[in-house]
Amino acid sequence: MACSIQGLVPAFCGSSSRLSPHSNSFPSLFSVTVFPECGRKLPGGRKIGQRLEDYGVCRAMVQQTVHGASATYAKEMERLSAKESLLLAFKDAGGFEALVTGNTTDMQRIDVNERIIGLERLNPTPRPTTSPYLEGQWNFEWFGSGSPGLFAARLVFQRFPTTLANLSKMDVVIKDGYAKITAVMRLLNSIESKFILSTQLSVEGPLRMKEEYVEGVLESPKVDEETIPEQLKGAFGQAVSTVQQLPVPIRDALTSGLKVPLSGTFQRLFMISYLDEEILIIRDSAGVPEVLTRLDPAPSPLSESTTEYES
């Protein structure tokens, strides 16, 4: 027994009226085909005798399709609403600056975490570790203890007071199994320096990955001379003159930045709890979340990777 239904189905799909194989009385938007298994007589002498009401499965099939489409649409709207709600919670908590300086309140942190959980349960990507959406440039919006973001923030604020230095932004580029985290620091609002942390990523499951630190580089500061306070311009000129008088090898080393090998010093496991074309959420082994938003255009989802998992 099978029914094929096109268009809109009126309520009489389960009525007691008989169906004539030659009838043209149905509306133009509706067509029903009853196959021989249904038991009636069709052209050619095959016999069918049951009434249409015996096949309420017709209406059930249509209702299931309509309700399924409605449920999918409702879930997508819920997901988009949850994303917007999370981004607003970041803004209400003071944004990236408040996070790295420790100026977020307990209420703001619990509010953000509640919205993170709400979005995670709507994750549209079942295998995020091999999804093409994972690669690209991401901006850190939220992070906790144990993350490379907090590592970079502590490196800055352990060496400089917040009145002299601030961590203005931090992003990560994920490509070909490696991640490069860049933290931008500003001194006296005039001198910009970057700390770059390179890590290696390995896939260990559909949700789980391992991250190993490879190298840290503290780039030479870049100075915006127009923003230097007048009382410091003399000292700045002397410093530039001193650097120019250094031997070439030392001067080149200062220009290329200070490199610190980190291989074998630190590694961590984390899982990707949410991924789409705009937002990435990961959790470390302690369950602490990090939330990132995409900076570059999202790749095509058709280029799904087939990376094998390590045991």
Q: What are phi and psi of 161, to 5 degrees?
A: -70, 155
Rounded Cα distance between 169 and 19, Å, is: 71
Whether the predicted pLDDT of 10 surpasses 50: no
Task: Spell out a b/e string for 41-69, using b for 16 or more CB atoms within 10 Å of the CB, else e.
Answer: eeeeeeeeeeebeebeebbebbeeeeeee
Rounded Cα distance between 47 and 40, Å, is: 5
Rounded Cα distance between 223 and 50, Å, is: 88
Task: Give residue for tokens 């600056």.
Answer: 97
How far, CA to CA in Å, does 274 sit from each of 133, 140, 161, 279?
11, 15, 35, 7
C-alpha dihedral sign at 85, 86, 87, 88: positive
Mean pLDDT of the chain: 74
Nearest Cα to 179, choosing from 207, 219, 145, 213?
213
The pLDDT tens digits of the residues spanning 106-141 come to 999 999 999 999 999 999 999 999 999 999 999 999
Whether the predicted pLDDT of 303 surpasses 70: no
State the pLDDT confidence band at 167, using cuts at 50, 70 and 90: confident
Whether the predicted pLDDT of 81 surpasses 70: yes
Side-chain-side CA neighbours of residue 50 (13 Å): 13
Q: Do the strands 136-142 and 267-275 form a parallel or antiparallel pair, or are they unpaired? A: unpaired
The pLDDT tens digits of the residues spanning 169-183 come to 889 999 999 999 998
pTM of the entire structure? 0.67
The pLDDT tens digits of the residues spanning 263-289 come to 888 899 999 999 999 999 999 998 989
H-run or E-run covering 157: helix 148-157
CB count within 10 Å of CB 260 equals 13
Residue 178 forms beta bridges with which residues? 175, 200
Rounded Cα distance between 107 and 101, Å, is: 16
H-run or E-run covering 158: none
The pLDDT tens digits of the residues spanning 29-55 come to 444 444 444 445 445 554 444 444 555
pLDDT for residue 60? 58
The number of residues in the chain equals: 311
